Amino acid sequence: MAKLPDVLRRLANVSNIADICETRDVEEAFRRGIDSVINFAAESHVDRSILDARPFVQTNVAGTQVLLELARRHSVRRFVQVSTDEVYGPAIDVNAFDEDDPLRPTSPYAASKAAADLLCLAYHKTFGVPVVITRCTNNYGPFQFPEKFIQLMITNVLEGKPVPIYGDGRQERDWLFVEDHCTALLQVLEHPAIEGVFNIAGGATVQNLRIAQIVLNLLGASRDLLKFVPDRPAHDRRYALHADRIAAIGWQPQMPLEAGLSKTVAWFTENQAWWRSVKSGEYLKYYSTWYEQELLKGASS
């Protein structure tokens, strides 16, 4: 499997990300020459979308439309929209979702991503923009923002803080290591003749409590650190995807879950200066607002 920096370097070269960073002007970057676009940009944390949905609509919907319009005007070779399994809603009455299943988002975040997906499909139908949409399961790995479930657990344990678990902790998610996701996106980007939607999945659904126990074991921490908090509003119980379509063009996940979690724990243990600087200032304000005020307020109402 290609190492993550190599994969990201190839993605950057294809998308001229260096030009965008230099000019800080997306339209100017397109004028200077963009071959292909991978739209990673998004507000992505569900809890934050419940506190305030406006940035999610502005970034995930309006921002995507800006890129689509520029891609149309400048005739890019391919536009890859990085989406999420959450657009399908909870996988309760089905084993797993296929790419052609209807979209039934339940959170403001998921709704904003579903809207962006529909915009992409509309630009493909109306203007012929060569769009490919990827819908991945939960990502994890190095450098992920520490408000995310796995990273929040790891960093809280390293800080000696309680680890919040929503509800009964039996929500099920499919976990995808970041390097596997990047190789899948590269496969989609470089394939000579594809369009439409591709699910990207790690391969097995696991309960949040099981993930928490693995992380605690890797850190040598006690289960007593787990703190069950009121469930968030409209918390989907289970996500699961069929990924046969992307398998047919040659991609399969390579990282076993426990090995990926071990690599992630090791990275956050060895790079504490990075995440400690992130978990300060505005982050602390959000953490207090959400876990210490909003959830407890919901429990008492």
Phi-psi region of 132 (alpha: psi -120 to 50; beta: other; left: phi over 0): beta
The set of catalytic residues is 85-86, 109
Burial of 300 (0-12, 13-18, 19+ CB in 10 A): exposed
Query: Pick from 68, 74, 79: which is nearest to 32 by CA?
Result: 74
**Cα end-to-end distance, the chain, whole Å:** 50
Within 10 A of 259 (CB to CB), how many other CB atoms are there? 11
Contact residues for 279 (Cβ-Cβ < 8 A; gap 6+): 146, 155, 287
Query: Pick from 176, 150, 179, 185: which is nearest to 268 by CA?
Result: 150
